[in-house]
Amino acid sequence: MKVRFQADADFNEIILKAVLRREPSIDFQTARSAALPGLSDKDVLERASRSGRLLVTHDRKTMPKHFAEFIETNSSAGVLIVPQKMSIALVAEELMIVWVATEAEEWSNRIFSLPI
């Protein structure tokens, strides 16, 4: 199954738009459409997991710890951490590669940082 993405509330939506401009068929849900703003990391992980979406976030400080705690008792579709200072074009390209070259199952219960 193809990777489906979930943007965290802190994720730069310009990146999301750049990805969708390149490939409109990518399933990339905004934080607003998933009602994520204001939720705790645990709740964000729960919603992304429940919908089978790879969570894409800039949160390098707290998300890895919360992810490790979350997968002790739950299953996750995975987390992809994007550095804030990485160029929009490069992030969009990396996300396209993830979508084209991997399957959703490969991300299960895993956390990675870009660049891959």
**Residue 96, pLDDT score:** 96
d(CA 57, CA 38): 14
Question: Could you tell me how far CA 9 lies from the centroid of its own chain?
Answer: 11
**Residue 3, pLDDT score:** 97
Name the nearest CA neighbour of 79 among 90, 94, 68: 68
Q: Among residues of the chain, what percentage have pLDDT more than 70?
A: 100
Cis bond before residue 115 (omega within 30° of 0) = yes
d(CA 32, CA 23): 21
Domains in the chain (CATH in brackets) are: 5-113 (3.40.50)
pLDDT tens digits for range 14-32: 999 999 999 999 999 999 9
pLDDT tens digits for range 30-59: 999 999 999 999 999 999 999 999 999 999
